[in-house]
Structure 1
Amino acid sequence: MTPPINDCIEVCVCTYRRPQLRITLETLAALRAPDGFTLSVLVIDNDATPSARPLVDSIAETFPLPLRHVHCPEGNISIARNGALDHCRARYLAFIDDDEIASPDWLCALVEELRHTNADVVLGPVDAVYDETAPSWMRNLAIHSTRPVWVRGIIRAGYTCNVIIDRQAPAVRGRRFDPALGKTGGEDSLFFTEIQEAGGRIGYSERALVLEDVTPERLAYSWLLRRRLRMGQTHGRLLRRKIGTGRFLGNLAAALAKATYCFGAAVLGGYDTTRRNAALLRGALHIGVLMGLTGMRELELYGAGQPHRAKS
């Protein structure tokens, strides 16, 4: 195996029939390289046929950075992300989704935090961009935006929609995304949770911003409910991995109490659409935790015909 290039950052875009890929690649072409680094771009195509190849081939010759297309079928986001780990030629691997827009200094901000904190992984924020059809309560809650969750001042899990990873870090080396979770989502939460549990440090840079246009199908309340249920299932499954019978019952009771409280708050706050919907979605999250704790089959949000999105 060829040793990774230490002074290179490879930006990976996992894609599945996403027309916005062209816009994402255009923003990557405008990236500024952090001091001391060169950049390259790797497109991992997760479709059954290499549907993204014509686009990549058409722009590769004039693209200002080395640009490669790799076909890793099919319909399972973990296969695509493991393909990125397998085919990346650089020590540092950055992930961005195929419907996101990177700011020119995106990687500079991630690397600055990586150097400053000596972290193994650095996350950045994703801000949702809504069109005029989005309900005001969604805008108020920024419900589609992504930020890490801190537990007692520590980030214990992460996501692949805005991240840089040091592949040579001991806690990262040899780690894989679980293909069993490649259709339900949650594979990135597990991946980064295991890094943190192995002693890896996960940092965060607020300046490493990327933007995401929210598509009409994701404005549906049913989509948001399903996503919150699945996120809760992921959290419940992670809890189930490391708790005994006593703590299992305690976590079960806590999730039930939280769900009950949230649904009660939704009733009491019914006059305020933002408060009501926030409480209902939070309640759905805790119902998902119950489902995950008890081992119920997880919802499949990604698969054949479904664009991949697994922010969890």
Structure 2
Amino acid sequence: MTNTNPIRIDIGICTFRRPALEETLESLFKLTVPSDAQVRLIVADNDAAPSAKDLVDSMAARSPFPIRYVHCPKSNISIARNACLSACEADFLAYIDDDETATPGWLAALVEKARETGAEAVLGPVRALYGDDSAGWMRDGDFHSTMPVWVNGRIITGYTCNTLLDMRSPLVAGRRFALALGQSGGEDTHFFSQLTEAGGRIEFAENALVLEPVPASRASFGWLAKRRFRSGQTHGRIVAANNGGAKRIPKALIAAAKAGYCGAVAAGFMLMPVRRNRYALRGALHVGAVMGMLGVREIRQYGTAEAA
């Protein structure tokens, strides 16, 4: 039976020197909100100076929802995500990135799935929008869109670019993003992996769509490889944390073998760029996993001018 009790929903937007924040907020102003819901926006500014405050203040006057601005000047994305968690006073907290735009039915679809399933977290799809100057293989293979990964029929980890958390769940309440991963990235993978390991469930709302333009700075094989490598490092760190000492060595060897296999297959598809690059990027992921298991420090991705 559908729950008809009134609910409160906060939407967290972490930002760092992104002019696109204005478009994100504009899209949220146009949301179709469930009739029994009250919505509030939380903007967590991760810049050393409160660079987003003037924009947020100017838009608050015409916002259909209250907006709370939080300045968390440490250039660490985990601090910004945690600021949204701490500022949240609602039943649910949704996250959307500051370079994305929500479709009108985004929030309602997330909430509907959460009510239907009782899951601690719900993920939605992120559809990449490619410019005309993007490589053909990149558009054809759609390498930038984000979807959950199912393992044996379950989603065991997640992302914060399109998600809803049930703040009433004891498995969510008090949980925080790892500060040590706040500049390298992977803090969301770590957060959701810990959630499911504790018994939490993650579900998928296919109609909860957000859109993300792919800027020229990200429209390259190098950027994709760096991101996959970092994701592999995060996975490797998690594996290492759960397998101390010599126990991690066989897993590192398996990941290394997978990296070698992916490299060989990529070479075999040299004349088929979509397949070639898909396997090459998968290889970068496995190489990153090996590095993570061996304790190699993650590359820095947040809190830099490049990240902005």
Normalising by the smaller structure, the TM-score range is: over 0.9
**Following TM superposition, by how much is the alpha carbon of 1:284 offset from its aligned partner in structure 2, in angstroms?**
0.6
- Equivalence for 1:165: 165
- Equivalence for 2:130: 130
Q: Does 1:255 align with 2:255?
A: yes
**Whole-Å separation in 2 of the counterparts to 1:153 and 1:128:** 25
* Contact 1:6–1:90 under 8 Å retained in 2: no
Residue type of the partner of 2:134? A
Partner SS state of residue 159, structure 1: coil
Name whichever of 62-71 and 247-256 sits farther off. 247-256
Tell me which stretches of 4 or more aligned residues in structure 1 moved more than 3 Å. Answer: 244-247
- Equivalence for 2:223: 223
**Following TM superposition, by how much is the alpha carbon of 1:6 offset from its aligned partner in structure 2, in angstroms?**
7.0
How many equivalent residue pairs? 304
Q: Does 1:99 align with 2:99?
A: yes
> CA offsets, 1:207-252, max 9 Å, x none?
1010100011001222111111101001111111112556423211
- Equivalence for 2:50: 50
- The alignment-based identity, stated in percent, is 50
* Contact 1:10–1:94 under 8 Å retained in 2: yes
* Contact 1:171–1:196 under 8 Å retained in 2: no
Q: Does 1:234 align with 2:229?
A: no
**Following TM superposition, by how much is the alpha carbon of 1:196 offset from its aligned partner in structure 2, in angstroms?**
0.8
> CA offsets, 1:66-105, max 9 Å, x none?
1121111121000101110111121210000001010111
- Equivalence for 2:182: 182
Q: Does 1:210 align with 2:215?
A: no
Name whichever of 273-282 and 7-16 sits farther off. 273-282
**Following TM superposition, by how much is the alpha carbon of 1:148 offset from its aligned partner in structure 2, in angstroms?**
1.1
**Whole-Å separation in 2 of the counterparts to 1:210 and 1:247:** 40
**Whole-Å separation in 1 of the counterparts to 2:19 and 2:133:** 21
> CA offsets, 1:166-220, max 9 Å, x none?
1120111111111111000011111111111111111111110101000110012
Partner SS state of residue 243, structure 2: coil
Q: List alignment gaps of at least 5 residues for structure 2.
A: none
**Whole-Å separation in 1 of the counterparts to 2:199 and 2:54:** 42
Q: CA RMSD in A?
A: 1.4
> CA offsets, 1:111-151, max 9 Å, x none?
11101111011010101000100011111221111111111
Partner SS state of residue 292, structure 1: helix
* Contact 1:122–1:203 under 8 Å retained in 2: yes
Q: List alignment gaps of at least 5 residues for structure 1.
A: none
Matched ranges for 1:1-312 at <5 A: 7-244=7-244, 247-307=247-307
* Contact 1:41–1:68 under 8 Å retained in 2: yes
**Following TM superposition, by how much is the alpha carbon of 1:38 offset from its aligned partner in structure 2, in angstroms?**
1.1
**Whole-Å separation in 2 of the counterparts to 1:257 and 1:304:** 34
* Contact 2:301–2:307 under 8 Å retained in 1: no
**Whole-Å separation in 2 of the counterparts to 1:112 and 1:145:** 23
Name whichever of 299-308 and 104-113 sits farther off. 299-308
TM-score calculated relative to the size of structure 1? 0.94
**Whole-Å separation in 2 of the counterparts to 1:53 and 1:87:** 16
* Contact 1:6–1:91 under 8 Å retained in 2: no
Residue type of the partner of 1:158? G
* Contact 2:106–2:210 under 8 Å retained in 1: yes
Partner SS state of residue 90, structure 1: coil
Partner SS state of residue 222, structure 1: helix
Check 1:172–1:208 CA distance in 2 against 1; reply closer, same or farther (3 A cut).
same
